[in-house]
Structure 1
Amino acid sequence: MRTDTDLAVARRIRVGVAAYSERIRAERAGFLTLTQTAVLGQLYRHGALTPGEIADRLRAKPQTLTRVFATLQERGLITRTPDPDDRRQALVTITDQGRGMLHVEMRPRDRFAAALITQELTAAERDLLAIAADLLERLATAGAPPVRAEP
């Protein structure tokens, strides 16, 4: 049963995560756009997906991502292959080069976040934050549709 306390906690988490995300998002290498980073992140976390599945996960229209897919493919960061279950569809997969570029793009964010954590939190708070990270990851995947494994 949902209580007022649950709603208040949910609101605080939403606001805190959004503010933290905005702050962290500003720390980047700049080799990829935010949308390119988001697409590669989806492929890194979930394996091969159709363009429609990626668009759904990013709450975008597939047409909006057409140029992003083309640019990522031209740069060798993704590949597109026919879907064996539906030849009319393509499956998009991150390449090793794409994984490397995503790592380079995310490294400044990780370093910035680690510095903040070290500077601002006590050891006990860092331990608690590690637990909270596990819980947020669990919540992020709760109720998610099944995804294809990477070939």
Structure 2
Amino acid sequence: MGFEQDAVSELWRTAWCHRSDMQRELTRGAQGEMFAIRQLAHHGTMTPSQLAAALNATSGRISTLLSSMEKKGLITRETDPDDRRVVLVNLTDAGRERGRKDMEEMRDAVCWIFSQMGERRTREFVDLTREFMTYMSICKPGQPRPTAEEVRKAFERRE
């Protein structure tokens, strides 16, 4: 096994098998609320189908999620006045505030982590993450790997 296979195994073990308390907290009680709030905050009004596609969730899961969020006062669901078959989902003020608080808490936690890593290692991490994500953006499963020209163009767009 080459270094690439070892690195993939280590990355998967680190990222998915040894999840942090913060990662577990994000996915446990809220069961997708944070992600739905972020989608609605970023895109505005959405239909349940659009949310399901964005969150890669089933319509049943989205229905359950939206019911829970509506009970908590985080969203409203209204019938589209132009097409009564369509339901429109919007964030409430409480939902926007929850999203703001969640992001602030996460930002504070990551800032603390970076303070522990130090400036040099943090900048290296951010640079390497940006490079990794650029490669990820052009490497599609089931398709040929990008050419040197496609890689060059992707990195030019990044700058």
Task: Tell me the TM-score normalized by structure 2.
Answer: 0.60
After TM superposition, the structure 1 = structure 2 runs for residues 71-150 of structure 1, keeping only pairs within 5 Å, are 71-83=68-80, 86-120=83-117, 122-130=118-126, 136=133
Which runs of 5 or more structure 1 residues have no equivalent in the other structure? 1-6, 141-151
Q: 1:69 to 1:113 in 2, by over 3 A?
A: same
Shift of 1:115: 0.8
Which runs of 5 or more structure 2 residues have no equivalent in the other structure? 138-159
- Give secondary structure in 1 for the equivalent of 2:32: helix
Cα distance per residue 1:11-48 (max 9 Å; x no partner): 58x749945x94342356x9x61322221122122221
- Distance, in Å, in 2 between the alignment partners of 1:84 and 1:22 is 44
Q: 1:16 to 1:91 in 2, by over 3 A?
A: farther
Q: 1:22 to 1:103 in 2, by over 3 A?
A: farther
In terms of Rg, which structure is larger? 2
The share of aligned pairs that are identical, in percent, is 24
Q: Which has the higher contact order (CA 8 A, sep 6+)?
A: 1
Amino acid corresponding to residue 108 of structure 2 in structure 1 = R
Cα distance per residue 1:92-120 (max 9 Å; x no partner): 11122101112233443322211111111
Amino acid corresponding to residue 54 of structure 1 in structure 2 = L
- Distance, in Å, in 1 between the alignment partners of 2:92 and 2:33 is 14
State the Cα RMSD in Å.
3.9
